[in-house]
Amino acid sequence: MATDPESELVLVAQFLMEQEFLFARGRLESAGIECFCSNEYLSRISSGIYNGMTGGIALKVRRADLADARAILDDPGQPYLVD
């Protein structure tokens, strides 16, 4: 049975810090892009000490969403203004 190439999961980014991963995933999900990850729980267990050895946390999206996901992650957004 053939699968749709557009639904294939592709790597959009890798993170050594869990906080950066969570921020990126939140930005994509708030834009309606479904995200998938690997090594997220391994990262929590190792407390970040061995993340470089495991390759960090891999954030993946469907191939059809790759261009939009990259555009969102590459955009720094608006700076926060403090009164």
**Mind listing the pLDDT tens digit for each residue in 16-35?**
888 899 999 999 999 999 99
pLDDT of residue 3: 75
Q: How many angstroms separate the CA atoms of 27 and 45, rounded?
A: 24
2 domain residue, yes or no: no
Is residue 31 assigned to a domain?
yes
Q: 3-state class of 42 per DSSP?
A: helix
> Could you list the residue range(s) of the whole structural domain that residue 26 is in?
7-74
Please check whether residue 56 lies inside any domain of the structure.
yes
Q: Whole-number mean pLDDT of the chain?
A: 82
- Which residues, given as ranges, of the chain have pLDDT below 50? none
Q: What is the number of structural domains in the chain?
A: 1
The contacts of residue 28 (CB under 8 Å, 6+ apart) are: 12, 35, 59, 61, 69, 72, 73
Would you state the pLDDT for residue 54?
62
81 inside domain = no
Query: Would 1 be classed as within a structural domain?
Result: no
CB 36 within 8 A of CB 69: no
pLDDT given for residue 32 in this prediction = 96
On whether residue 43 sits in a domain, the answer given is yes
Report the amino acid identity of residue 74. D
Return the pLDDT at 2.
57
Number of Cβ atoms within 10 Å of the Cβ of 4: 9
**Residue 53 located in a structural domain:** yes
Do the strands 36-38 and 9-15 form a parallel or antiparallel pair, or are they unpaired?
unpaired
62 domain residue, yes or no: yes
